[in-house]
């Protein structure tokens, strides 16, 4: 029995294209994998630990091989708890809007928490960085108001998909799949057609996920 973590990064609920497409993936996944469990992490409702002075000092202490102060240890426990939760799953689904050509700040906040040395990646001067979250698939479901087709000048503005793929790869994912809904702000016809195409491909993808 596998566990799927669904990380939802749009605040728009039922009006969100990324959420609607990801919900279709989850519905198809549940149908195809009846023994599996799906947990939803809505980043707009989650109580994420702050990455403030104490927490950042805790990170630098690890990077510099120093021990934590009592305050840093307590703050770092919140980070470790979030990472333990993240790593306890077998498969991942992340749905996200494009905001200012990148990720919404709640998703960036979550990624800033879970991408940590010794926990989700390691560094060795001889071999460089190694991701520690391995052997697990992730599906990205991404909505954006405009269009950023590969090979066009607009693609250079896309700091959503390449960045998310880079970060997932950095922490060890090699099976990174994606569905894109665009352009969602060019009128309902184009938006709904793109959503329908994404839903159809995600329903299929969910079966073999």
Ligand X SMILES: Cc1cc2nc3c(=O)[nH]c(=O)nc-3n(C[C@H](O)[C@H](O)[C@H](O)COP(=O)(O)O)c2cc1C
Contact positions toward ligand X, by CB under 6 A?
10, 12, 16-19, 97-101, 143-146, 184-185
Nearest to ligand X of 71, 192 (CB atom): 192
Toward ligand X, which CB reaches closer, 92 or 148?
Answer: 148
Q: Which residues contact 116 (CB under 8 A, 6 or more apart)?
A: 59, 62, 79, 83
Element (H, E) at 129: strand 128-131
Asked if 40 and 8 count as a contact pair (C-beta separation under 8 A), the reply is yes
- Are 33 and 2 in contact by the 8 Å Cβ rule? The answer is yes
- With H, G, I as helix, E, B as strand and everything else as coil, classify residue 52: coil
Distance CA 160, CA 144 (A): 9
Phi and psi (nearest 5°) for 120?
-120, -15
User: How far apart (Å, rounded) are the C-alpha atoms in residues 33 and 173?
Assistant: 22
Q: Rounded to the nearest whole angstrom, what is the least distance from the CB of residue 139 to ligand X in the complex?
A: 15
Query: Minimum CB separation from ligand X for residue 106, in Å?
Result: 12
58 or 97: whose CB is closer to ligand X?
97
Q: How far apart are CA 134 and CA 145, in angstroms?
A: 32
Q: Would you give the distance in Å from CA 141 to the centre of its chain? A: 9
What is the smallest separation between the CB atom of 164 and ligand X, expressed in angstroms? 14
CA distances from 19 to 108, 144, 180 (A): 17, 12, 12
Q: How far is the CB of 49 from ligand X (least distance, A)?
A: 24
Q: Which is nearer to ligand X, 10 or 120 (CB)?
A: 10
Q: How far is the CB of 153 from ligand X (least distance, A)?
A: 14
> At 99, phi and psi to the nearest 5?
-125, 125
CB of residue 165 to ligand X, shortest distance in Å: 17
């Amino acid at each position: 029995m596998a566990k799927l973590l669904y990380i939802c990064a749009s605040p728009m609920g039922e009006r969100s294209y990324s959420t609607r497409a990801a919900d279709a993936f989850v519905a198809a996944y549940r149908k195809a994998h009846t023994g599996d469990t799906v947990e939803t992490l809505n980043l707009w409702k989650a109580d994420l630990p702050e990455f403030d002075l104490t927490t950042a000092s805790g990170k630098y202490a690890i990077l510099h091989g120093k021990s934590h102060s009592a305050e840093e240890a307590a703050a770092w426990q919140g980070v470790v708890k979030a990472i333990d939760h993240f790593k306890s799953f077998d498969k991942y689904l992340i749905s996200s809007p494009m905001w200012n050509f990148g990720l919404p700040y709640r998703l960036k906040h979550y990624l800033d928490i879970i991408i940590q040395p010794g926990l989700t990646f390691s560094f060795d001067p001889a071999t460089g960085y190694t991701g520690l979250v391995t052997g697990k698939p992730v599906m990205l479901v991404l909505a954006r108001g405009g269009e950023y087709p590969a090979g066009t000048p607009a693609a250079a503005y896309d700091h959503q998909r390449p960045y998310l793929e880079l970060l997932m790869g950095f922490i060890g994912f090699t099976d990174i799949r994606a569905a894109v809904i665009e352009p969602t702000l060019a009128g309902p016809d184009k938006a709904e057609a793109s959503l329908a195409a994404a839903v159809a491909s995600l329903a299929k993808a969910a079966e073999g996920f």
